Amino acid sequence: MPIHYDLHSHSTASDGTLTPTALIQRAGKQGVDVLALTDHDVTDGLEEARRAADEIGLRLINGVEISVTWHGATVHIVGLNFDPANARLQAGLAELRKYRAWRGEEIARRLEKKGISGALEGAKAFCNGQILSRTHFARFLVAQGHAKDMRKVFGKFLTHNRPGYVAGEWAALADAVGWIRDAGGQAVIAHPARYRLSATRLRALITAFMECGGEVLEVASGSHSAGDVQGMAQYARRYELLVSQGSDYHGPEQSWLELGKMPSMPEGCIPVWTLWKTEQEAKS
């Protein structure tokens, strides 16, 4: 049986709805052998996830999904298989969470001007205090009847040019990649087709990413279409990037996504895990 990898997922430590323990247990049931927990700008879920993973014999890869601003675009850089105790990485993530907290207040102020009060408290009621994400605002707004579902609420309030949107000032690309590498991990451009960059901009992003030591492109993502996967595989081969795959699972509410489920990887791609020793090899 081939080993089943899912290298992109979220827990209640960021904007997922399952606790790290529940996430690991579900991954096990879905036949995932190797899971990376990649919460947004925080690694606090890893410890609990590790205990749960050890219990059921699933291999957990330390992960994080770092918010980056690159030439005005928000880009997500996933870090895999790093040391979460690394001080530089943690200092960088702490800065991002400070910005997140301020941005949350700013989102609430802007919604208040549109007649929606109590959004900060409302959003916080949907998160466990680790990080405050637009997803938490979205859940609050849907619960209050301001939009029908999560997709609509983003389009109405939380994306570019909408009343609750705050243009990002996230980490610099070189910093995010640098922190991950400093902590001994691999940097991955997450769901590259989702940014809807022109071919020229995507090539520029990949070039800049590689110049600062990035090695991996997330080719097979739960949020990529079959065409996206083929297109991104071509970039990976052309630039000789390693590839990664992940569901980007956030919880059972997104019924179209499941742990361990993502499009299959096209031929001729070299997965990031070829760099990783198995636990047995590491011990011997």
Among 12, 67, 81, 221, the residue binding ligand AMP under the rule CB under 6 A is 67
We find the least distance from the C-beta atom of residue 246 to Mn ion, in angstroms, to be 8
If binding is defined by CB under 6 A, does position 154 make contact with ligand AMP?
yes
From CA 66, how far away is CA 177, in angstroms rounded? 9
- Per CB under 5 A, does 76 bind Mn ion? yes
Q: Which residue bears the tokens 């739960």?
A: 222
Q: Does 150 bind ligand AMP (CB under 6 A)?
A: yes
CA distance 9 to 179: 20
Question: What distance in Å separates the CA atoms of residue 90 and residue 254, rounded to the nearest whole number?
Answer: 30
Q: How far apart are CA 126 and CA 135, in angstroms?
A: 9
Site for Mn ion in 183-222 (CB under 5 A): 190
Considering the complex, what minimum distance in angstroms separates the CB of residue 213 from ligand AMP? 23
Tokens for 12? 């209640």
Q: What is the DSSP letter of 112?
A: H
Does 62 help bind ligand AMP (rule: CB under 6 A)? Answer: no
Residue 40 or 146 having the CB closest to ligand AMP: 40
Binding status of residue 191 toward ligand AMP by CB under 6 A:
no
Residue choice 26, 134, 181, 224 for contact with ligand AMP (CB under 6 A): 134
Binding partner at 86 among Mn ion, ligand AMP, none, C-beta below 5 to 8 Å by kind: none
Question: d(Cα 158, Cα 216) in Å, to the nearest integer?
Answer: 29
146 near ligand AMP, rule: CB under 6 A:
no
Least distance in angstroms from the C-beta of 54 to ligand AMP: 28
Asked if 74 and 67 touch (Cβ cutoff 8 Å), the reply is yes
Which letter does DSSP use for residue 249 in this model?
B
Task: Name the token pair of 122.
Answer: 């409302």
Interatomic CA distance for residues 1 and 16, integer angstroms: 29
Near ligand AMP by CB under 6 A: residue from 15, 39, 175, 228: 15
Among 177, 250, 266, 273, which residue interacts with ligand AMP (rule: CB under 6 A)?
250
How far apart CA 141 and CA 61 sit, in angstroms, is 34
Contact 196, 88 (CB under 8 A): no
Q: Which of 15, 39, 41, 44 binds Mn ion (CB under 5 A)?
A: 15
Report the interface residues with Mn ion, using CB under 5 A: 15, 65, 76, 190, 248
Binding site for ligand AMP (CB under 6 A): 15, 40, 67, 133-135, 150-151, 154, 250
